[in-house]
Structures are given as C-alpha cells and as structure tokens.
Amino acid sequence: MPSVALTVNGRKVSAEVEPRTLLVQLLREKLGLTGTHVGCDTSQCGACVVHVDGTSIKSCTILAVQCEGADVLTIEGLANGDKLHPMQEAFREHHGLQCGFCTPGMVMSAVDLLKNNPKPSEREIREWLEGNICRCTGYHNIVKAIQAASGQPVS
C-alpha cells in the first residue's frame, strides 16, 4: 500500500492508503478528523470542502495520494484555540446553520471566497456557493453571515 505524507491543520502526518482512497476518507478514517463530511457521491454537495494549499477543494474529488506534501486545512483547524474564526462567529451570530451537516464545507468555502473577493456582492456570494448545498437554511442566513464576515452591511 502506498503511503502519503502531508500537513493537516499544521501537523505533519503520514498514513498508508490505497491508491483509490479519497482525501476525505483519509481525513475522516485515518486521522479522526470527522468534521469534514460526505454528503453525496457525485461531487455536487460541498459538505467535504477543505483547503488544500490555500484553495478550497472538494476532498471527495481528490485522491489522498494527490495530496503528497500538501498543506491541508480542515474545519477543525480554523479556530484559534477557543477563539472562533470570524466566519464561524458570523455563522453563529446570523443563524447560518441548523442541522450543521453542510456547515463545515460551507464555512471553508466561504473563507476561500473572502480570500479571493473580500467584498463580494450578494450575487457573487450566491454564485460562489453554487457548489455547497444546504437543505435546512434556505441559504438566506448563510448569505447574511458571509456579508457580515466580510464587514459589509447585512441586507
């Protein structure tokens, strides 16, 4: 079995994986980082979004072995100890989650949006989230949370 070595949430890790093992499986099953979720099998839903080398990626659509040497950030690595990341805080403040299942992917996706586009319009936020499905919130409060996190007025 091949092995892969990478950095996850600032820690160097390595594991033996099958060639077909997805990054999300490595995270959830080998590293015990169950905050990243699997919601579909066609790369639609976005519950699995993490950052790989600074960019949001669907971890169900990348093989673990493709991440050799990569720097991976998951939802577990976003907060600074007890201090929530401003995006996490904004989701809490604006009730941007209900069941919580889409939330890790949604938050990681939103963090990358603001890295690329610090003051997105509502339209830009909604188009960015096309790859993140939520069944609970209707997206209304998710959009508000992201507007707030970007320091813009919440419409």
Partner 1 sequence: MADGFIGASVKRREDAKFLTGRGNYTDDINRPGQLHAYIVRSPHPHATIGKIDAAKALAQPGVVAVFTGADMAADGVGGLPCGWQIHSKDGSPMNEPPHPPLATGKVRHVGDPVAVVIAETLSQAKDAAEQVAVTYKELPAVSEPAKAVAAGAPQLFDEAKGNLCYDWHLGDKAAVDAAFAKAAKVAKIDLVNNRLIPNAMEPRAALGEFNRATGEYTLYTTSQNPHVIRLLMGAYVLHLPEAKLRVIAPDVGGGFGSKIYHYAEEAIVTWTSAKVNRPVKWTAERSESFMSDAHGRDHVTHGELALDKDGKFLALRVSTIANMGAYLSTFAPAVPTYLYATLLAGVYTTPLIYCEVKAVFTNTVPVDAYRGAGRPEATYLLERLVDIAAKETGLDRAEIRKRNFIPKTAFPYQTPVALQYDNGDYPGCFESALKAADYSGYAARKATSEKAGKLRGIGISTYIEACGIAPSAVVGSLGARAALYEVGTVRVHPTGSISVLTGAHSHGQGHETTFAQVVADALGVPMESIEVVHGDTGMIPFGLGTYGSRSLAVGGSAILKAVDKIVAKSKKIAAHLLEAAEADIEFKDGKFSVAGTDRAKTLGEIALAAYVPHNYPIDTVEPGLDETAFYDPKNFTFPSGAHICEVEIDPQTGTVSVEKFTAVDDVGRVINPMIVEGQVHGGVVQGIGQALYEGCVYDAAGQLVTGSLMDYCMPRADNLPKFAVTQHTTLCTHNQLGVKGCGEVGAIGSPPAVINAVIDALAPYGVTHLDMPATPERVWRAIHSPRASRAA
- Written as six digits, the tokens of 87 are 């995006």
**Is position 149 an interface residue for partner 1 (rule: CB under 8 A)?**
no
One character per residue 95-134, x = contact with partner 1 (rule: CB under 8 A): x-xxxxxxxx--x--------------x--xxx-xx-xxx
CA dihedral 94, 111, 43, 97 (to 10 degrees): -10
**Is position 86 an interface residue for partner 1 (rule: CB under 8 A)?**
no
Contact between 77 and 11 under an 8 Å Cβ cutoff? The reply is no
How many helices and strands (H and E) does the chain possess?
A: 5, 5
Which of 20/69 has CB closer to partner 1?
A: 20
**Contacting residues for 82 by C-beta, under 8 A, at least 6 apart:** none
Interacting positions 18-57 with partner 1 (CB under 8 A): 18, 20, 28, 33-42, 44-45, 47
* Long-range contact pairs involving 120-127 (C-beta distance under 8 Å, separation at least 24): 120/146, 120/150, 122/147, 122/155
Q: Shortest distance, CB of residue 46 to partner 1, whole angstroms?
A: 9
CA 98 – CA 111 distance, rounded (Å): 19
Q: Shortest distance, CB of residue 4 to partner 1, whole angstroms?
A: 16
CA 138 – CA 114 distance, rounded (Å): 21
**Is position 84 an interface residue for partner 1 (rule: CB under 8 A)?**
yes
Q: Shortest distance, CB of residue 110 to partner 1, whole angstroms?
A: 11
User: Candidates 51-59, 61-69, 76-84, 111-119 — which segment interacts with partner 1 by CB under 8 A?
Assistant: 76-84
Binding stretches for partner 1 (CB under 8 A) = 18, 20, 28, 33-42, 44-45, 47, 74-76, 78-79, 84, 88, 91-93, 95, 97-104, 107, 122, 125-127, 129-130, 132-144, 155
